[in-house]
Amino acid sequence: MARYVFDFSEGDASQRGLLGGKGANLAEMTNLGLPVPPGFTITTDACRAYLDTGQQPAELVEEVDKHLAALEERMGRKLGQPDHPLLVSVRSGAKFSMPGMMETVLNIGLNDESVEGLAAISDNPRFAWDSYRRLLSMFGSTVLDVDRSRFDQALDDLKTSASVETDVELTAEDLRQLVATYEQIIVEETGSEFPQQPREQLDLAVLAVFSSWNTERAKLYRRQERIPDDLGTAVNICSMVFGNLGDDSGTGVCFTRDPATGHRGVYGDYLVNAQGEDVVAGIRNTLPLTALGETDPTSYEELLSIMKTLEAHYEDLCDIEFTVERGKLWMLQTRVGKRTAAAAFRVAVQLVDEGVIDLDEALRRVTGAQLAQLMFPQFDKDGGKRELIATGMAASPGAAVGKAAFDSATAVEWAANGDAVILVRRETNPDDLSGMIAATGVLTSRGGKTSHAAVVARGMGRTCVVGVEALRVDLKQREIRTPDGAHVEEGDLLSIDGSTGEVFAGAVPVTASAVVEALLESPGTAGNGSHASHASRADGESNENLEAEDKGDHAELIEAVQRIMRHADAVTRMHVRANADTPQDAQRARKFGARGIGLCRTEHMFLGSRRKIVERVILARSDEQRDSALQELLPLQRDDFLGILEAMDGLPVVVRLLDPPLHEFLPDLTELSVKVAVADALGKPDEQAEALLKEVQRHHEQNPMLGMRGVRLGLTVPGLFQLQVRAIAEAAAELKRRGLDPRPEIMVPLVGDVKEFAIVKEQSLSTLADVAAELGTALRFPIGTMIELPRAAMTAHEIADEAEFFSFGTNDMTQTTWGFSRDDVEAAFFPHYIESGIFAVSPFETLDVAGVGRIVAVAAWEGKETRGDLVVGVCGEHGGDPASIHFFESILLDYVSCSPFRVPVARLEAGRAKLEAADHTSF
């Protein structure tokens, strides 16, 4: 039989699942001998049982009886005892912190009789009536569902009639009157009296906390934070202590290190003669923690000592709530404290240097998301006045300032002149790539988080804000207007915040990321010796050092990041490669620590000035015409690959053969139709456009994503893939001639059946042999395939017979597995799906393990079963997503590939994932 109630002295910190975070830590502190007010915890099991059945389990009632009796015995008074009442708080406490999401009721045990006893005992009638009115309003709104505003209104009315400004000015008599009013409100709203029975108050409050697990705001919070819905909350029943009994009382919050910067030393706030809720409510300004040292040095010293105990015990930065009741210190709560990204890295490495934790543990305590935060430039918070003109979707983080350019050519031109540029477009398309590369930031008025602009910008690490619907981009007038009258002309300065979606007129000052510079300088080697000098610093370090340390903040942070990155690389099993299509990106990726290129897309190589040649390939009327156009592309393609292979000398470069449908290189059907029809209507028929339109119509597809793409194209358009293979081979041969070590790998996209792949492989081997013979060098590179269709995954055991490597294209795999295209559906229904809990997160951001993940796992497993040395990686955008990286580690992929800017994040998470996997498998 389940046990539903644990005394604080019975639990420990490991029981977060059963006792909730707060309950487990109260138990832990109790067992450490710290001054915790006595009490007990009702388990999450009890909550779940109640939520499932709508009934309190019978055993729960009995166990509460027993524990309450013990508490009363220990405290020497009974709950609500008229002459000397024991009062308790009833607080929620789930496994994962959900601040402010669930209910709390304080001062349980007060009623019309015991309030008088409390007044007598405390010798403070005002305090007693104030406590009672707080109970009535909290209980009324939380347990009895009375609209909270009725209590607030009554309080305001009383202040008005008493002609006072604040609550504290109200007298005991005022508050006694307010209690009567509150009791009246409860009768009016519920038809019943406020329950005078203390035990009834307690039971009702507990059930109300249980129920608060399923309020809409709690559910929404859990969805956002990805906390499972079926955990339930524990309930902590704790004897009340009061910080509002006079100037020898007070309440405070403190941290064992600075959670903002990671500085050593204690930090906190204290409020004299106050209760915890006053601190939260911000009614009075708090004082620094040292104020307690001045008024009550004994309690202060005791607190410092407890902080040391707690940090040593939890081996981490702790966040503590405490109360001083008439000079007696009580600990109300502690937990491992939240912190900023910079603090996370610094504290982790400090603790290593202090000998508290090892580097494995330090690595576990930082996240890729925190590293990413440190890598983006940010607007200076103290940068003075900003003119916010509009807000859109935060698509790619960072802070960018530059001259607004309304087309890619302008952006490229200005950037060439050394100007920072913000590329402003309604939406972007592949032709904007040059502009996006040239720009510091990208701003669009349309599209969602996975629009072309967003995806490409994230890939390139460009700051990007999309879907700023308030912006009217007028390409004729070369200006932007907003409904509020803001007006930006092309060439004016704009600032965009890719972490908030804000768009500012003018230049907002930016702080660059020193972490990025450090990572680029020395991805996995630098700063190796410097951390030893910190090893002597132990936890006894005094506050006097703090000022001196300030100057070293920067260096300390960078060193912390570098040490943890080195350790991640040391423990990792999976490698990290980059998705990079240009020599510049390849160089950058390499500097960021990429161990090769996992995806070099070739489609952008067919754009720009080459578009006309590609058009001739498509419109060719004969094999000769097509071949001649392809021949023109050959030297250009060879140069593309020369640059990338050179930048990645000695490392693998996986080149994906052309993937998109050819008609993407042709004009848009609707635009061209309009052009032709209008010319016709005006009596000036445009024959050239008409001819082109016929071809565009012929190549038009209802669902291009499901059309003539990838290997289908390669098998249907003679010579196309082999042009690319030849260009790769010739480039590699040239580099070998120069004494380099080029390692291209050829990847066939969108394979569904082994026979498709086998044909391309055979042709490619033959092309490689031809070029090798022509140039007199050995050329044999691995030839593998994307696994991006469920059909390929289901037949991976066959495909691995032929393919020399697999690379999961998880974007396309997500599209086909779910049957929706990112472009079409994200804006249309993803927000609604996330709101209604169907998605916890977009499956394009984090891999859907249950569906797509299952398919990927089957293919990885069966592929390796067929070919033991099959290299299996992933090159979809999920390769840079922390949660997805942990899944890929769990199914033992060989590498993940992501955009260059995400490489450090992926390296960090790959290392963490390995530790996690080891934690799971060691026993």
What residues act catalytically?
Answer: 452, 875
**Tokens standing for 123?**
């010798």
Cβ proximity to its own copies, 487 vs 698, nearer residue? 698
Cβ proximity to its own copies, 58 vs 681, nearer residue? 681
Helix (H, G, I), strand (E, B) or coil at 842: coil
Does residue 707 bind its own copies (CB under 8 A)? yes
**Tokens standing for 683?**
């009596």
Does residue 256 bind its own copies (CB under 8 A)? no
Does residue 528 bind its own copies (CB under 8 A)? no
Does residue 532 bind its own copies (CB under 8 A)? no
Q: Is residue 133 a contact partner of residue 182, using CB atoms and an 8 Å limit?
A: yes
The interface with its own copies within residues 853-882 (CB under 8 A) comprises 854-855
Q: Is residue 322 a contact partner of residue 239, using CB atoms and an 8 Å limit?
A: no
Cβ proximity to its own copies, 340 vs 821, nearer residue? 821
Look at the block and give the residue holding tokens 């977009």.
842
Task: Report in angstroms the alpha-carbon separations of 356 from 351, 444, 586.
Answer: 5, 49, 39
Q: Is residue 836 a contact partner of residue 798, using CB atoms and an 8 Å limit?
A: no
Cβ proximity to its own copies, 778 vs 850, nearer residue? 850
Which of 795, 810, 842, 884: binder of its own copies (CB under 8 A)? 795
Which of 532, 850, 868, 921: binder of its own copies (CB under 8 A)? 850
Cβ proximity to its own copies, 518 vs 787, nearer residue? 787
Among candidate residues 162, 163, 137, the one with its CA nearest the CA of residue 151: 137
Does residue 677 bind its own copies (CB under 8 A)? yes
Task: Provide the pairing of β-strand 393-396 with 463-466.
Answer: antiparallel
Does residue 684 bind its own copies (CB under 8 A)? no
- Which one of 29-37, 605-613, 754-762, 904-912 is the stretch in contact with its own copies (CB under 8 A)? 754-762
Does residue 230 bind its own copies (CB under 8 A)? no
**Tokens standing for 797?**
């055991």
Number of chain positions touching its own copies (CB under 8 A): 56
Which of 388, 759, 772, 834: binder of its own copies (CB under 8 A)? 759
Closest approach of its own copies to the CB of residue 788, in Å: 8
Does residue 848 bind its own copies (CB under 8 A)? yes
Closest approach of its own copies to the CB of residue 243, in Å: 45
Closest approach of its own copies to the CB of residue 829, in Å: 5
Residues with Cβ within 8 Å of residue 731, at least 6 apart in sequence: 638, 639, 640, 641, 642, 645, 742, 744
Does residue 788 bind its own copies (CB under 8 A)? yes
Sign of CA dihedral 141, 143, 146, 147: positive
Q: How many Cβ atoms from other residues are within 10 Å of residue 861's Cβ?
A: 14
Closest approach of its own copies to the CB of residue 818, in Å: 5
Query: What span, in angstroms and rounded, lies between the C-alpha atoms of 659 and 602?
Result: 8
201 exposure class (CB count in 10 Å sphere: 0-12, 13-18, 19+)? buried
Does residue 816 bind its own copies (CB under 8 A)? yes
Cβ proximity to its own copies, 233 vs 817, nearer residue? 817
Phi, psi of 117 (to 5 degrees): -60, -45
Does residue 782 bind its own copies (CB under 8 A)? no
Among candidate residues 844, 644, 621, the one with its CA nearest the CA of residue 727: 644
Helix (H, G, I), strand (E, B) or coil at 82: coil
Closest approach of its own copies to the CB of residue 367, in Å: 27
Among candidate residues 228, 196, 198, the one with its CA nearest the CA of residue 213: 228
Q: Is residue 806 a contact partner of residue 871, using CB atoms and an 8 Å limit?
A: yes
Q: Is residue 478 a contact partner of residue 485, using CB atoms and an 8 Å limit?
A: no
Does residue 228 bind its own copies (CB under 8 A)? no
- Which one of 316-324, 622-630, 746-754, 908-916 is the stretch in contact with its own copies (CB under 8 A)? 746-754
Cβ proximity to its own copies, 267 vs 820, nearer residue? 820
Cβ proximity to its own copies, 189 vs 668, nearer residue? 668
Does residue 548 bind its own copies (CB under 8 A)? no
- Which one of 346-354, 421-429, 755-763, 908-916 is the stretch in contact with its own copies (CB under 8 A)? 755-763
Cβ proximity to its own copies, 502 vs 812, nearer residue? 812
Closest approach of its own copies to the CB of residue 850, in Å: 5
The interface with its own copies within residues 826-845 (CB under 8 A) comprises 828-829, 832-833, 836-838
Give the residues across from 92 on adjacent strands: 235
Does residue 702 bind its own copies (CB under 8 A)? yes
Does residue 682 bind its own copies (CB under 8 A)? yes
Give the residues across from 40 on adjacent strands: 7, 237
DSSP states along 485-527: --EEETTSEEEEETTTTEEEESPPPEE--HHHHHHHH-SSSSS
Does residue 766 bind its own copies (CB under 8 A)? no
The 3-class secondary structure across 237-279, one letter per residue, is EEECCCCCCCCCCEEEEEEEECCCCCCEEEEEEEEECCCHHHH
Q: Give the residues lining the site for its own copies (CB under 8 A).
A: 669-670, 673-674, 677-678, 681-682, 701-708, 712, 715-716, 750, 752-753, 755-756, 759, 788-791, 794-795, 798, 812, 815-821, 823-825, 828-829, 832-833, 836-838, 848, 850-852, 854-855
